[in-house]
């Protein structure tokens, strides 16, 4: 059992360590998919493995042990998790989920009074801002201030970028990546990479829509500078880590479109699959452990 546990945890560490770097080498759409699905799969495998291991610990509690025909002494030998760490992690995770759900509901409430068309939401203000909401319809909200500051071709880039966010449900990919990071802090860097690949994905879609990469690059750079110079917004706090880095995005648009890299995708998929197989192996040996513990053992002091 401990070999399977060690292999699963080691491979999951390897995935968490390599995914951000490898993901940045891929074209943004496959990168987002493989990083998000991969980090969720690996995290789920980890939880499963730790749960099986934790069950060997729970099985030692006198009340629980009384229910089942196994020996607490035999189980204790396989017990590696301290109780306080598990409880602490569960509390932190629940707190994160509550906060994100509250934020999603608040956004949903804000959009409730909007008309039921899928059209652009224009807010009449001098502020410069544009974003896509994660609610069911996915609203693109833009200010008149920004629309007036941009040339027609630049507007097309910005709207195509946000439309890509909406059509590909980018807010949800990002939330899934953040969920994996909330469960397992080792995936924080991966979540940050996904925040970047999601923006790159929308950038590439915008460049394709206007069929001009340099126009897309210039629009991105100019809009970022305009918004920065006219911003009254205080620098973001801890969550600011998830804002994608704009100069890298501009440079990527000035370079030729990224090439497909099946080998890198294959490697990441293999790592994630290894974790699933590892978790299955742990489950099987966990069952065997309980069966083994059901046969009485005697320890005689020599």
Q: Considering only residues 33-72, where is the footprint of another protein by CB under 8 A?
A: none
Window 4 to 23, contacts with another protein (CB under 8 A): none
Kindly tell me which residue out of 1, 42, 142, 176 binds another protein, with binding defined by CB under 8 A: 142
Q: Does 158 bind another protein (CB under 8 A)?
A: yes
Residues numbered 86-105 forming contacts with another protein, rule: CB under 8 A: 99-100, 102-104
Residues 167-186 that bind another protein (CB under 8 A): 167, 170-171, 174-175, 178
b or e along 263-295 (b: 16 or more beta carbons within 10 Å of the residue's beta carbon)?
ebbebbeebbebbbebbebbbebbeebbeebee
For the bound state, the minimum distance from the C-beta of residue 46 to another protein, rounded and expressed in Å, comes to: 24
Q: Which is nearer to another protein, 89 or 209 (CB)?
A: 209
What minimum distance in Å lies between the beta carbon of 284 and another protein?
A: 39
Subset of residues 238 to 297 that bind another protein, contact rule: CB under 8 A: 239-240, 242-247, 250-251, 254
Q: Smallest gap, in angstroms, from Cβ of residue 212 to another protein? A: 8
Pick the closer one to another protein by CB: 2 or 94: 94
Q: Which is nearer to another protein, 211 or 299 (CB)?
A: 211
**Distance of alpha carbon 90 from its chain centroid, rounded?**
18
Residue among 5, 22, 159, 177 that touches another protein (CB under 8 A): 159
**Residue 169 backbone class (left: φ over 0; alpha: ψ -120 to 50; beta: rest):** left
CB of 127 to another protein, least distance (A): 6
**Closest approach of another protein to the CB of residue 207, in Å:** 13
Using rule CB under 8 A, residue 192 touches another protein: no
Q: Which one, 50 or 182, has the nearer CB to another protein?
A: 182
Distance from C-alpha of 34 to C-alpha of 94, rounded to nearest angstrom: 25
d(C-alpha 252, C-alpha 200), whole Å: 8
**Residue with smaller CB distance to another protein, 76 or 99:** 99
Nearest distance, CB of residue 139 and another protein, angstroms? 9
- For the record, the structure tokens of 158 come out as 């910005």
State which residue, 30 or 171, has the beta carbon closest to another protein. 171
CB of 179 to another protein, least distance (A): 12
Binding residue for another protein (CB under 8 A) from 39, 71, 132, 184? 132
Smallest distance from the beta carbon of 230 to another protein, in angstroms? 12
Residues 207-236 that bind another protein (CB under 8 A): 209, 212, 214-215, 217-218, 220-225, 227-228, 231, 233, 235-236
């Amino acid at each position: 059992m401990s070999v399977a546990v060690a292999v699963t945890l080691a491979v999951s560490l390897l995935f968490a360590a390599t995914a951000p770097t490898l993901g940045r080498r891929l074209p943004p759409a496959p990168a987002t998919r493989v990083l998000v699905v991969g980090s969720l799969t690996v995290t789920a495998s980890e939880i499963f493995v730790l749960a099986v291991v934790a069950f060997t610990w729970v099985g030692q509690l006198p009340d629980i042990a009384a229910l089942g025909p196994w020996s607490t002494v035999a189980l204790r030998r396989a017990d590696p998790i301290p109780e306080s760490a598990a409880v602490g992690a569960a509390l932190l995770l629940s707190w994160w989920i509550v906060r994100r759900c509250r934020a999603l509901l608040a956004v949903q409430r804000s959009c409730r009074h909007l008309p039921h068309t899928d059209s652009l939401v224009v807010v009449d203000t001098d502020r410069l801002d544009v974003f896509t909401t994660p609610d069911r319809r996915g609203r693109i909200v833009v200010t008149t201030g920004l629309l007036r500051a941009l040339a027609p071709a630049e507007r097309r880039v910005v709207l195509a970028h946000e439309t890509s966010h909406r059509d590909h449900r980018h807010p949800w990919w990002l939330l899934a990546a953040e969920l994996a990071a909330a469960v397992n802090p080792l995936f924080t860097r991966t979540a940050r990479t996904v925040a970047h690949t999601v923006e790159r994905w929308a950038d590439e879609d915008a460049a394709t829509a206007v069929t001009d990469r340099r126009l897309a690059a210039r629009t991105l750079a100019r809009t970022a500078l305009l918004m920065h110079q006219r911003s009254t917004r205080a620098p973001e706090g801890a969550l600011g880590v998830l804002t994608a880095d704009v100069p890298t995005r501009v440079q990527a648009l000035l370079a030729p479109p990224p090439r497909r890299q099946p080998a890198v995708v294959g490697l990441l998929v293999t790592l994630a699959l290894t974790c699933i197989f590892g978790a299955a192996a742990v489950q099987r040996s966990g069952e065997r452990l309980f069966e083994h513990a059901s046969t009485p053992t005697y320890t005689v002091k020599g």
